[in-house]
Structure 1
């Protein structure tokens, strides 16, 4: 698929071939191919200078992003691309006054094509790629294609609750997301459904095992510890434990009908407090997801139909 988050095609053989020579850039013009390269700097007029092997690449401010001309996108969207990979379509090649081969590029043209040919066709339940660009307290902004942004709210990231999106994702991380809705081209996203049901996650563990976990909340009656992003257990209260601690825990019991796991904290560990993502869904679309077990009185689900 050609409409991917920025940074996904820069190392492909086609991208390397087409950006290496004037002939390759000319071919890209004729065929309308979207390419990628690294933005080296942003000038005082907010033009992006792009690293091309065979020419000086320039993305003029007005071509830097969809919405710049209208004012709906701020110039920070251009400044923040410095030293990062940008996508673009080649508009023209010419010799400058000092006889330097110059390539006029348009990131906006790539984004407009992506929006028309790809984003507009997305439907609820579609599973797509996204790259995390930056975090806010309420969620992570992600690139869903050619630098076009969407928001992944913090409460959709996992079943296990987190304090900040950086507890779940790293900036620049390539992840999968599910389209929750497409309202006139504005894409709403979710993520937790990809991380498995209670039963799928609980099947990874057995009573009697000692495993790593992350403390997510400390209550008077116990300590909630994340074993996976979609599975948490409860340990008895213990002094000196705070949210974010990495711990080792002994699994006492697993109770499917109540969707509960009872734990005992063995030790506090000096290691990175982040659990890896494991995706349980490999298809390109999902209609319905049921987190709850068949024995549970709770009914936790997502319906994309």
Structure 2
């Protein structure tokens, strides 16, 4: 079975079919299927109530996530799932005094299976689909499968530096990421290696063009303007320019041997754009080594996944 971030299964035909009738849910329990449905309530004991269409399900608090039972994960991991898809395995059916049937569910068991059958087999350099779950100044957190979350540090998001991950991602965005480090089953992600080398990005531009950019920093010696997430150029200083502004820039020169793009700042203005899904140069499932710098450049920038 393939494992995906939560939300991937909920609209799939097979998942919907498993929740059409109590008999279909019973079959899903017998087969040990991982299903997805929307959680609608977190009660005062932090049990999740889940809408299974033909009946309600309950995920007891200790079954809400890996680490809840052990006390290594806070209850916010459960509370934050309200009104969102949750994955689960059906473990039982119970009947109340009025004869109503409720399915007993375990998200923890689904996560344990994901750990054992998918995450445990990942190696550094593997490229996997992930979904952004929340953003912090130091990085983005991403669901790598069945609600199991890993960190994508801010310095690993792109070559061009940013002040906050919200400049690249929105919550719920599906992206690809690289397994950067693995400590037992704890994974740290990277992203910049999928966005192309200096040469691949520079080849999208020509000397003499005027193009769009984003001001990333204003230094004493010039203004850095991002042309793509993995390519920035340097323009001469100009008054009343600050980081975060949109810019139009004239490309004065492209110098692979120095890994530089020289720009002339035409205009800057304040405008906020919603982040677009990333454009990936690397489309494979595994990357051993990423060399960002051009071959003719004396400066060597490389990532080795080991």
TM norm. shorter chain > 0.5: yes
Note if contact 2:175-2:277 (Cα within 8 Å) is conserved in structure 1: no
> Aligned residue for 2:43?
43
> Aligned residue for 1:298?
299
1:63 CA displacement: 0.6
- Alpha-carbon separation, structure 2, partners of 1:220 and 1:148: 44
- Alpha-carbon separation, structure 2, partners of 1:259 and 1:275: 26
Comparing 121-130 with 182-191, greater Cα deviation is found at: 182-191
Deviations 1:72-131 (A, max 9, x none): 011111111111111111112233222222111110010000011111110011001111
1:55 CA displacement: 0.5
- Alpha-carbon separation, structure 1, partners of 2:40 and 2:268: 44
> Aligned residue for 2:250?
250
> Aligned residue for 2:152?
152
Superposition map of 1:177-188 within 5 A: 177-188=177-188
SS of the aligned residue for 1:144 comes to: strand
Show structure 2 runs of 5+ residues with no match.
Answer: none
Deviations 1:188-239 (A, max 9, x none): 2111100000000111111121211111111121111111110001111111
Question: How many pairs align?
Answer: 305
* Structure 1 outlier segments of 4+, above 3 Å: 273-276
User: RMSD between aligned alpha carbons?
Assistant: 1.3
Superposition map of 1:192-271 within 5 A: 192-269=192-269, 270-271=271-272
Comparing 115-124 with 167-176, greater Cα deviation is found at: 167-176
1:271 CA displacement: 4.5
> Aligned residue for 2:285?
284
TM-score by length of 1: 0.96
1:274 CA displacement: 4.1
Note if contact 1:128-1:178 (Cα within 8 Å) is conserved in structure 2: yes
SS of the aligned residue for 2:161 comes to: coil
Superposition map of 1:163-174 within 5 A: 163-174=163-174
- Alpha-carbon separation, structure 1, partners of 2:97 and 2:14: 31
1:273 CA displacement: 6.6
Deviations 1:254-274 (A, max 9, x none): 111111111122223434174
Superposition map of 1:88-167 within 5 A: 88-167=88-167
Show structure 1 runs of 5+ residues with no match.
Answer: none
- Alpha-carbon separation, structure 2, partners of 1:90 and 1:274: 38
In structure 2, relative to structure 1, the CA distance for the partners of 1:196 and 1:276 (3 Å cut) is: same
SS of the aligned residue for 2:133 comes to: strand
TM-score by length of 2: 0.96
In structure 2, relative to structure 1, the CA distance for the partners of 1:22 and 1:279 (3 Å cut) is: same
> Aligned residue for 2:189?
189
Deviations 1:151-173 (A, max 9, x none): 11111111001111111211111
In structure 2, relative to structure 1, the CA distance for the partners of 1:46 and 1:34 (3 Å cut) is: same
SS of the aligned residue for 1:82 comes to: coil
